[in-house]
Structure 1
Amino acid sequence: MLKFAANLSLLFTEYPLIQRFGAARAAGFDAVEVQFPYTLTPEAVRKELQDHALKMVLINLPAGNWEAGDRGLACLPGREDEFAESVDLAIEWAKTLGVERLNCLAGVPPENVPAERVSATLAHNLKLAAQRCEGAGIELMIEAINNRDVPGFYLHHSHQVLDLIRKLELPATSLQYDVYHMQMMEGNLISTLQQNADKIGHIQIADVPGRHEPGTGEINFTNLFKALESQEYKGYISLEYIPRCKTEAGLGWLKTWKTQDERNELECSG
């Protein structure tokens, strides 16, 4: 049976972040993820997880100054020390919360920096992150993000991530496969999932276009989920989409999938 988690950075935004844990449990989830929980304290988050019997399945490494345009630090020359500190901070959070996977965003390289320097910086930082995560018993995820929503994002195809993991011989490192981003960049979702089943450690979903609930766009999620079941995917599938209305009103697709009823196109009411 497939396992689903709620991404609390995009779902239940009707509530403050600290209240979204309880909202997720009330909606039937037993697992959650948060992109950047660092505005809270690990102790406060741990209490929410314990109080609501939730498992935190993933958090991101701190990605720099988001408001200033940072979208990750791993490929940014001159900020290697800041990246190393972000890895250590994320590992501390992971240990406190029982998180088994940390996601790394490569970032958008600055203009007028030689490509060779950007590539070397990314390689150095990924090796450091993979080694420190392995030492902590944590799996490192690397995510490819479409360069339409995030122009200039350095890793924007799944093969780029997979090639890096292989070339750098990164220990305890896997691809975080985001269905939304990869549908926009390369398509062939089921084929990619099947051919790289042993290299994909986490999956996130949203429909295209709009990044809304499954059933609102062009992706055939019924076939996608059936393919994941047939290959006995054991990881989590995280709902990282922007609800068209209130989160709870848009979860009908998940209920119909779980009960194996007829899967109709999502209708958001309320």
Structure 2
Amino acid sequence: MKRRSFLQQTAFTGASLITATGFSAAAAPVYKQPVPAADKPFNLNYAFHDGMFKSHAGNDIIDQIKFGYDHGFRSIEDNGMMGRTPEMQKKIGDTLQKLGMNMGVFVITSDNWHWKTTLTTGKQEWIDKMISDCKKAVEVAKRCGAKWMTVVPGNFDRSLSLDYQTANVITALRKGAAILEPHGLVMVLEMLSDNSDLFLRHSDQAYMICKAVNSSACKMLFDMYHMQRNEGDIINNLNKSWDEIGYLQIGDNPGRYEPGTGEMNYLNIFRHIHSKGFKGILGMEHGNFQQGKEGEIALIKAYRDADSFL
């Protein structure tokens, strides 16, 4: 599944709440039912996204949040948060606060300019766009209770050397960090695997850029699906870049679905992350392998299985 398609989807589907693990068989909205003992919080803090549980909870993201809470999840992430109305941003934030949940990443780049040749160029128009979006993101973050926001520097500028492009990206990110840092906010740089035009693709590259920006407001988003495709050796590369990682994301490969559907040993990966004392969020940026209610229950079970390292 390509990231562009993933970001454009507003929902994934999945199916049936009747399982041997004790999930309630009550009709939606399930969040009104008592939380079964089997649905205690996970050992790590996994963040689902809008649409992931819509077959059970319906299309309302507030109901989906409550459903996710009842099944042990304690965070959400929402790439399209900046496109929501201020009223809905606040409603989501208030709901999360009431439940004791966290808000994960949203994408800071409006109009999807991260799919264009942008920060690598050094052109003032893109620096201005970065500054404008960071200022907007501060207000969005206040309303929804977010701390982290995804940034992608865009595509290669084939007219410039790699070093000049890297310098341009660092310059732009420093300007963005200067806006976010006073508010305790963090932009997290995501390395992607969708196509060969993307500038930021490897963990060592992002690590070097974060060191050069030298701000608490600029860290790495280590999406394990993309990194499995681009470089593999997930645990070792997590270790090497650990001090600059601010956020983690999940997706099995191939396919970009939940753990257990591909080649990655997420039980071992999650055990390792937990052993390092990670207290942050792991975003579930993937689709449901199965459609309908059955798929949603299979997804919950997949996380229970991968999270059973203690």
What is the TM-score normalised by the length of structure 1?
0.84
The secondary structure found in structure 2 opposite 1:196 is helix
Q: CA deviation at 1:226?
A: 0.9
Aligned length: 256
Match of 1:24 among 65, 83, 108: 65
Q: What is the alpha-carbon root mean square deviation over aligned residues?
A: 2.7
Q: 1:222 to 1:65 in 2, by over 3 A?
A: closer
- Equivalent residue number for residue 49 of structure 2: 7
Q: Which amino acid aligns with 1:58?
A: V
For residues 144-200 of structure 1, what are the alpha-carbon distances to aligned partners after superposition, in whole Å with 9 as ceiling and x for unaligned? Answer: 111xx2331101001001011113323432211000000001111111222333221
- Equivalent residue number for residue 264 of structure 1: none
Q: Which amino acid aligns with 1:48?
A: I
Which of the two has higher C-alpha Rg? 2
Match of 2:176 among 129, 141, 151: 129
- Equivalent residue number for residue 102 of structure 1: 149
Q: 1:72 to 1:218 in 2, by over 3 A?
A: farther
Q: 1:114 to 1:61 in 2, by over 3 A?
A: same
- Equivalent residue number for residue 266 of structure 1: none
Match of 1:51 among 95, 102, 112: 95
What is the TM-score normalised by the length of structure 2?
0.74
For residues 43-64 of structure 1, what are the alpha-carbon distances to aligned partners after superposition, in whole Å with 9 as ceiling and x for unaligned? Answer: 2122134236342122121243
- Equivalent residue number for residue 192 of structure 1: 237
- Equivalent residue number for residue 172 of structure 1: 217
The secondary structure found in structure 1 opposite 2:287 is coil
Q: CA deviation at 1:237?
A: 1.0
> 1:59 and 1:133 mapped to 2: Cα distance?
14
The secondary structure found in structure 2 opposite 1:51 is helix
Larger fraction in helix:
2
2:131 counterpart of 1:84: yes
Q: 1:72 to 1:143 in 2, by over 3 A?
A: farther
Q: CA deviation at 1:20?
A: 2.7
* Segment drifting more, 169-178 vs 196-205: 169-178
Q: CA deviation at 1:121?
A: 2.6
2:84 counterpart of 1:40: yes
The secondary structure found in structure 2 opposite 1:35 is coil
The secondary structure found in structure 2 opposite 1:240 is coil
2:196 counterpart of 1:151: yes
Sequence identity (%)? 25
- Given that 1:7 and 1:240 are in contact with CA atoms closer than 8 Å, whether structure 2 keeps it comes out as yes
- Equivalent residue number for residue 214 of structure 1: 259
> 1:121 and 1:181 mapped to 2: Cα distance?
24
Q: 1:150 to 1:20 in 2, by over 3 A?
A: farther
For residues 80-101 of structure 1, what are the alpha-carbon distances to aligned partners after superposition, in whole Å with 9 as ceiling and x for unaligned? Answer: 2112111111111112222111
2:165 counterpart of 1:118: yes
